[in-house]
Structure formats: structure tokens, C-alpha cells
Structure 1
Amino acid sequence: MSSKNIKNTRLYLIISVITIIVFKFILTAAIPLLDKTESRYAEIARIMAETKEWVVLQIDYGVPFWAKPPLSTWLSAISFDIFGVNELTARLPSFLISLLIIYIVGKSIKKTNITFYLIAFILLTMPEFLIHTGVVSTDTALNFCVVIIMLSFWKSMENENKFFWNYLFFIGIGLGFLAKGPLILVLTGPPILAWILVQKIKLKTVFTKLPWVLGILLVLVIAVPWYILTEERSPGFLDYFIVGEHFKRFLVPGWKGDLYGSGHSQPKGMIWVFLFIFTFPWLQIVLIKLWKNRKSILKSKWVSYLVFWLAWTPLFFTMSTNILHTYILPVTVPIALLTVYYWDNYTNKKVILGLGSIFPILAIIAFIGISFTSKTENYMNSDKYLLQHQFVNSTNKSIPIFYWKQKSYSGQFYSKGKAKVVKNEKELDSVVNTYPKVYFLVTNKLKKDISKETLSKMTLLESNYKTSIYKTE
């Protein structure tokens, strides 16, 4: 590639990366927290910040949330404490973690003068990574820990002297236990072990290049105290979290033991469909190059390491039916690193960059188009606007809020924990007779369970595609 083309490519990458980052930052503030995942984790963090209960996560006041460890919740709760409670502050930790991943990955490899921007471009144009840049969930923190572990192990094996990467390996494991639990070992241990065996790395080398004694102590100090304290304050946590969330969720089809939702039943092997869709076009580009160079894959320690890293996660989830597309997030980084490794061998770089630009361009166009649509709010999977339009937290903040049979997490978050549930018409009558004014929200699919006589006593204020809000007075 000529110096002029390199300069033009570099400029395109820089402009694209900055544009996408700014666009995604705007989205973190512009879009309401969506049900169920985002608003659920945001509400857990809001309750934590309000109650100052930093050990036992709560899905509602006094109701423990055993499904996930606290790392991402801690970060959002700290953000709330510092900057206040809103969509942007809920998502800010995830947004910053994604940028930190880009920085660490970009700076950990040195190949050409465009490597950092190329890595950033690839990751930010990969649908799964871009979607999770600034989303309230546990997956971004997990991805960060996986990246730290995998890069640290590689750096430790490739350098003779012990330095910060050697200790960062164990810090990543400790944080991984706080991000997602024992799953961190499942996602990183097998690909590392496979690479060691295939490359015939002596176990003596592995044991001498990493500070195992101090490292294991680091893991224990970082992770164990929270698990012990949570079990002490909320007995039953360990059994549910370790056995239920880490075995039954993935091994039992249609697992019914989920206390906070339902299993995400999918056909076996669906993880591969998610992989090919949500990593387009970079996975396809990499697979073509790997196929052409299939005879030399195992001859390169670096390429084989990345291939094992990439392949293991979808292989692990192949037989699982309780999966989400978010499970492929940890493979986005090895895909990007493999693309960079083969970058000099690609002849149609402009075509590749054009393909990579498709998803963010479509996302930007869609956002602009939606912004000029007057009824956009009606199709958002959130109860924010129904509550906001009635000024439930300002002029009418004293009016109680009730949901019919089940409340949404967005309703909890945007009512700041005021929303409660009535389970039947007897309870509803009691509420109406107790309070002079009441806001009453009901999902459209459950409206049929309320008698017409009861509904006739209420005034319909507003509806969206899934929920209606009424007022009694």
C-alpha cells in the first residue's frame, strides 16, 4: 500500500472511530432504559445506591437478587452516587469499559502505525461489540475480564521477565468472579489449556512464568469476601448461583428455576447463528483468510492462540438451549486481532472497510429517522414516557403508582421504586378506596383480566404498544 493510501486509510479510520464513539455516547443518554435487561440492572444499581447495601444485590426493596455477582452493579451505583440517577449515568460504566477494552487491545499489540485505529474500527463496527458499548448489563464487564486474562497469559508466556501482565492475569480472574462468577474460568481455561497442549508448551514454563502462589492469593482476596458475606446475609445464594445459574441454566432445556425471569429457550446450535450475524462482516473475512492459511494455523503460536480463543465460546454453548446473542461478546476481540494480523495480506482493504461500515451507518440513519418520527415513544420497550408525561416524579409525585399483576423494571426505575403491584380486583378496589388518586398501569396482554366495570371507573391517560396508564380520582 502506498504512503498516500496509508494516510487516507488512517484518516478514514480516525474519523470513523470518533464519529461512532460520539454517536454511541449520544445514544446512551437519548434512549430510555429498556425492559427487561437494561432497566432491571439499572434498578438494582439504583436501589444499591439509595439503600447503601453494597453486599446483597436487591431486585426490589428487601428482595435479594442472586442471579449475578456485583461488579457491574457496583459501577453503575457508584456512577449514580457521583453523577445522579439517569440513563447516561447507568450506562456510563459500560461505555467506558468498552473504550478501555479498545485501548488495552490496541496498545497491547504493535504492528503498523494504523493498528490502534484499525482495532478500534473493527470492534466498533462489529454489531455485538457496538451494541454493548454503553448497555447496562453484566456482559461488558465479563468481556473486559476475559480480555485481561487472555492477553495477560499470552504476554506472560512471551516475555522472559515477570512484569505487571503476570499479576494482571490473576487480577482478571478475581474480577471475573465478581463480574459473572465461575463462568470466567470456563470461558478462558479450556482455550488456554488447548493451546498449551497443541503448542507443546512445557508445564514447567507455565508454572515458572506466572506467580501462582501470590496470584491465587490475589484471586481469593478480590473475589471470596463478597461470596462469603452474601451467603451470610442471604442464605441460599451460593446454591442458587453456583448450581442453578452455572449448570442448570445451560444444561437443562427450558430451565424453570429462574427466580427472575424465564429461560431463553433456543434451538441447539443457535449460538453459531448469533455468531455469524452479530460479528458481520469481520468473522466472515477472518474465516476466509484462516481457510486459505489452514495449513499454517498451528505453526503460528499467536494465530493458534486466537483461534482457540475465538472457537471455544461458541463450541461451549453449542449444546445449550438457554442462550442469548450476548454470549458471543467475548469472541469479538480475537476476531479483531486476527483481522489485524492478516491485514497486510488483504488486497481489497477499501471494500473491507466499506463492509465494516455498514452496521454503524445503518444504525446512525435509523436513529436520525426515528428521531423525526412523532410516535417513536410509543414503540420504545420502556414505561419511561408513560410515567414522565404524567409528571409522576414532579408535580404529581405524591400520587401512588400501581401495576396490574406485574410491574416492569423500567416502571420501577423511572418511578424511583414507588411502583407496586395489585394482584387481583379485590386488591385494586382496596387501593382505589384507600387513595383519592392512583396511577394504574396495565400491560395490554393482561387488560383482558380486568372487568369492564372496573376499567370504566378509570380514566385512560395514554397508551403505547404494550402498556396503558390510567388514573383514578
Structure 2
Amino acid sequence: MKRTGNGRWTSPQPLWLIAAIFAWLLVTAWARPLMAPDEGRYASVALSMLHSGDWLVPRLDGLPFFHKPPLFYWIGAAAMAVTGPVEWAARLPSILGAGVAASALFLFLRRWSTVRQALLSTVVLVTTPFFFLGAQFANLDMLVAGCISATVLLAAAAALARERAEPWRALLAGAYLFAAAGLLAKGLIGVVLPVGVLLIWCLVTRRAAVLRLSVWLPGWALLLLVAGPWFVAMQMKYPEFFDYFVITQHFRRFASSGFNNQHGFWFYLPVLAGFTLPWFAWVLVPRRKDGDARPRLSDIDWLMWIWLAVIVVFFSLPRSKLVGYVLPALPPLAYLIAQRVLAGRSMEALLPRLRATTLASAAVCVACVAAITIYEAPPATRLRLPAGQAVAADDQVLMLDSYFYEIPFYWNLRKPVLVLDDWKAAATDTRDNWRKEIVDAGRFEPARAASTLVDRTQLAATLCVPHTTWLVGPSNSQLTNPWLTHAQLVAAHQSVAAWRFAGSATSDPRCLDVETAAPTPSFPQPTPQPATGTNGDD
């Protein structure tokens, strides 16, 4: 934004600003390993989609994974088809969602508010640590937040344009298109939340006539044409799909208390206040006492307040809460913070403080990425095979009593791994964990699950075969699996290790017998390998 000779402020070219937004959001997306479990899970599902060639059914370890729809995986798989399994490509869906949200906010406010409100709101949004980190986290929250934001803003722009006899149909069609994308990104909230925001806004601002836009038939036809085929295809292929995806993953998860991360109703208030510092501190600055009455809320003010309230209240109702759920509330919060900053103040007086706050907030964003890179990297992301060793096409990979979501991504595995566990007990376990995810996925394809999920009674038949098995598990796995004395320790990092088991050329079922085994030389603990090895390393 620059000042002209007549004292007015002009906007930068929108295309340049949007390009700058995406460049900023990409700047550190490559810098840190994937975090467990979410980033490893979603990145590996996307990579599995690419390797399998099945772009319809999302698969976790080869089994149908219907926790969420496929849009995130489609974007991630398409990116990795070009770049290979690298972190920034795995995070590209989130970056796109954040870029869409910030761009839509700027373009909407540039047209329906003021240039400086539009630009400052966008700067606040993209330099807020909560938003920046959400954009660089490979899960579905930021992607659906971008879809929700674009839906709300395009629909509101269509309503305002229709009142002024301006072209509005293209805007409304765009709103329905992003609602379809939100439905494919994370399910019903991609439609329900924007509709809730817009209906309340129309009622509060007395736009009853505009409510007819919510039943615009061409828009609904577009939404069903874009989002409908995938849901229909999954229901036809898997009759249990509707009950699991809609009833369990939407309604039961919303109402039940049996899921992880339970918090009180107040949870998101400190989250929004703390994770948006230093910008949120402007809310605490006293208003200027200039003697004028506080201005009435404009239509845009009402939209932003209602949008913020609907998102926060909706996600505060269920007991299970994750920080990322409330990301769709950040665009309206950025607008309200920017409005508070600008209220009754000249830009000339504000510019030094705005520059300082912007630089401080951007520095916090980068510092958070650096801190996570140093202190929060899960051990499995650092587990690399030594140079010269790789998983061959005929080899199999077996995980011991755990599932390390990051291994298929970092080892660039093209086949599902085998997982050793007590699967009969896991089938009756109702806790929300990795076992339940895999067991639920296996119910859609029991035959494939039977060949992937290995019970201890099947261990000898699985390992005593004439080809190599790579084993991954906790570094102390030998305490519960003494047969590991037959395997060669090839890599270790902190609490995770990898072994190479040669199998049995004669398929001797006694190849795991510890009592009859020849003395096995002890192997020195390997030095952790640098991140420049083979098998999917950068």
C-alpha cells in the first residue's frame, strides 16, 4: 500500500499481493519433518493414492480410510507426482487453503470496505502465528477453513452486489463451488457452517429477500455435480460407507464423549487470544476518547462478528476439541483486530507501530517453525536406512506393536506395510487411537486386512519366507520379541529402530526359534544417519 499525491492510499495489484501471500506461506514449508500422528497419516494416505493409482478410495496402509473425504489427498498426491515425497508438497493442500482464505478476505474487503482495512486485515491474518502454522501443517483443518472462508465471502459479495443491481451470479456460483470443495475437504461442515453464518447475517441485517439465494437451483446443481459423484461412488462400492462417514464421523463424533482431546466449553477463547499474539494485544489497547459516539456496526462488521461467533460456538459444543478446528474463525478475527487498530487513528501515526508489530509477528512465525523443527520432530522421521540399503520391490516391511505413520512417506514405500499386534483385542478396543483407525479401515475390506494385520500366531509364517523383511519398532522391542536376535540392526534414532531380517530360504517355520539359533554376534549401536540418505529423503 502506498500514498498518492492527493493523500489517499492505493492498493497493490491484487495478483502481486496474492503471489506474495503464497510465497510467504511457502517460505518454511520444507524446513521441518512431518509431525506425528496427523501429518504423517495424511501425507502417507496421499502418497499411497499416488502409488496405487486408485484416486477414488483414500487408503491408510492399503485399507479404505474414510475418516475424511479425498480433496486433501487429491491435491497432495498431485503435488507429489511432480516433486516426489517431500514435506512442502505434502503440506501444499493446507497452503492452498490458507492462500484462498487470505486472498478472498483481501478481495472482498477491497471491494466492500476500504483499501487500508483490506490490506491491514490481510497482513494481520497471514502474519498471525496461528494462521501461519496452520498453513504449514499437513492436515485437513486449514484446507476446509479456506473453503469455508471463500464460501462466506463470495456469498456475501453476491448478496451485496445483487442489492446494488451489479453482476452477482458468478459470485454466487463461486460460493457454491467452494462449498462443494469444503464438502470434499472435510465433510458436512464445509456446507453447514457457511450456511449458518450467512443465514444469521441475513436475518440480523434484515436481508430476508437475500435468503432466496440459499436455494438458488443452479448453485445446488453445481454443488451436487462437483461433490456428489465421489460420495455416490463410495456408497455403491461400500454399503457401510454412509453409516461410518456420516453417522459415526459426523454426528456421533460431535455428540460423543468417547474421543480424545476433551476440553471445556471455554477452550477456544485462550487459544484464539494466545496464538494470535502479538496482533491480539491491539484488542487490549484502550479506544481513543475523541468525544464521538461509537459508530454503529456496518453490514460488514455484522458479517465478521457473526462469522467469528458461529465458528467458535459450534466447535465449543462437542467435548472433543482440537486447536485446528477453529482456524475458520481467523479471517473475521483478523478483520476485527485491523478495525480496532485503525479506529480513529491516522495511518501516518500508525505506520511505525504497524511495521514493528508486523515484523515481530512474522519473526514469531519463523521462530515457532524453528522450535518445532528442533524440539518436536518425531523419532520415526529421523529413522533413515544407511546409504546403499533400500527396500526392494520384493521385500516386505513389518511394524512391531505400533504404526509409525511417517515411515511409508520417508521410505517412499509403494506397498502397504504389515503390522504386528494383538488384533483380536484391538477389535474390541473403543479407544480413539491408531489401532482403532486401522481396525475400522479393515472392516471395509476384510480380506485385504487379513493379509496386512499380522497376529502373533502368524508371525513365523510371515517372516520365515525366502525374501527380506524390514522390521520397524521401538528400540527395546527385543525384550518382547527375543527372535530379533536373528535380525540385523541397521538403523536407530532415539526410541525407534529398524532391523533387516533375511527370512528363510527353505521357508523353515522354525526360523524364529531362539533356542535352536546359533550364537548371534552383538551389533554396535548405529550412528543416526544424516537426512541425505536414500528412500525418499530430500
- Deviation sequence 1:68-102 (CA, Å, 0-9, x none): 11111111122223333332322233323422332
Give the match for residue 272 of structure 1: 269
Give the match for residue 380 of structure 2: 383
Separation in 2, partners of 1:298, 1:155: 21
Inter-CA distance 348–206: structure 2 relative to 1 (3 Å threshold): same
Give the match for residue 109 of structure 2: 109
- Conserved 8 A contact 1:94-1:140: yes
How far is 1:399 from its partner? 4.7
Separation in 2, partners of 1:206, 1:19: 36
Judge which range, 273-282 or 112-121, deviates more.
112-121
Inter-CA distance 436–305: structure 2 relative to 1 (3 Å threshold): closer
Percent identity of equivalent pairs: 22
Give the match for residue 206 of structure 1: 211
- DSSP-derived class of the 1:253 partner: coil
Gaps spanning 5+ residues in structure 1: where?
256-262
- Deviation sequence 1:287-334 (CA, Å, 0-9, x none): 7679999x9576421111100101111111223221110011101111
Inter-CA distance 243–286: structure 2 relative to 1 (3 Å threshold): farther
Separation in 2, partners of 1:327, 1:292: 37
- Conserved 8 A contact 1:400-1:437: yes
1:433 to 436, 459, 464: 464
Which one-letter code corresponds to 2:239 in the other structure? P
Which one-letter code corresponds to 1:85 in the other structure? P
Which one-letter code corresponds to 1:177 in the other structure? L
1:147-226 pair list within 5 angstroms: 147-159=149-161, 160-163=165-168, 164-201=170-207, 203-207=208-212, 212-226=216-230
Give the match for residue 315 of structure 1: 313
Provide the aligned length of Structure 1 versus Structure 2: 450
- Deviation sequence 1:215-255 (CA, Å, 0-9, x none): 12112112211111111112211111111111111211123
Give the match for residue 412 of structure 1: 408
Inter-CA distance 236–196: structure 2 relative to 1 (3 Å threshold): same
Structure 2 length normalisation: TM-score? 0.73
Give the match for residue 534 of structure 2: none
1:450 aligns with 2:480: yes
Judge which range, 38-47 or 280-289, deviates more.
280-289
Separation in 2, partners of 1:464, 1:365: 25
Inter-CA distance 357–234: structure 2 relative to 1 (3 Å threshold): farther
- Conserved 8 A contact 1:195-1:304: yes
Give the match for residue 333 of structure 1: 331
Greater C-alpha radius of gyration: 2
How far is 1:397 from its partner? 6.7
How far is 1:19 from its partner? 9.2
1:33-44 pair list within 5 angstroms: 33-44=34-45
1:468 aligns with 2:469: no
1:88 aligns with 2:88: yes
1:252 to 250, 253, 256: 256
Inter-CA distance 101–317: structure 2 relative to 1 (3 Å threshold): closer
Inter-CA distance 390–400: structure 2 relative to 1 (3 Å threshold): farther
Gaps spanning 5+ residues in structure 2: where?
422-454, 503-538
Separation in 2, partners of 1:174, 1:367: 32
- Conserved 8 A contact 2:129-2:365: no
Give the match for residue 53 of structure 1: 54
Which one-letter code corresponds to 2:43 in the other structure? A
Inter-CA distance 3–31: structure 2 relative to 1 (3 Å threshold): same
Inter-CA distance 297–34: structure 2 relative to 1 (3 Å threshold): farther
- DSSP-derived class of the 1:88 partner: helix
Pairwise CA RMSD: 3.8
How far is 1:26 from its partner? 4.5
How far is 1:53 from its partner? 1.7
- Conserved 8 A contact 1:269-1:319: no
- DSSP-derived class of the 2:464 partner: helix
1:65 aligns with 2:73: no
Separation in 1, partners of 2:221, 2:288: 42
- Conserved 8 A contact 1:80-1:89: yes
Inter-CA distance 425–449: structure 2 relative to 1 (3 Å threshold): farther
Inter-CA distance 170–22: structure 2 relative to 1 (3 Å threshold): closer
Give the match for residue 299 of structure 2: 301
- DSSP-derived class of the 1:273 partner: helix
Separation in 1, partners of 2:315, 2:277: 19
- DSSP-derived class of the 1:128 partner: helix
Separation in 1, partners of 2:174, 2:117: 23
How far is 1:441 from its partner? 1.5
- Conserved 8 A contact 1:34-1:382: no
1:402 aligns with 2:398: yes
| Higher helix proportion (structure 1 or 2) | 1
How far is 1:449 from its partner? 6.0
Separation in 2, partners of 1:222, 1:436: 46
How far is 1:181 from its partner? 1.3
- Conserved 8 A contact 2:474-2:495: yes
How far is 1:386 from its partner? 1.2
Separation in 1, partners of 2:275, 2:406: 26
- Conserved 8 A contact 1:199-1:298: no
Which one-letter code corresponds to 2:195 in the other structure? G
Separation in 1, partners of 2:193, 2:388: 46
Separation in 2, partners of 1:210, 1:278: 34
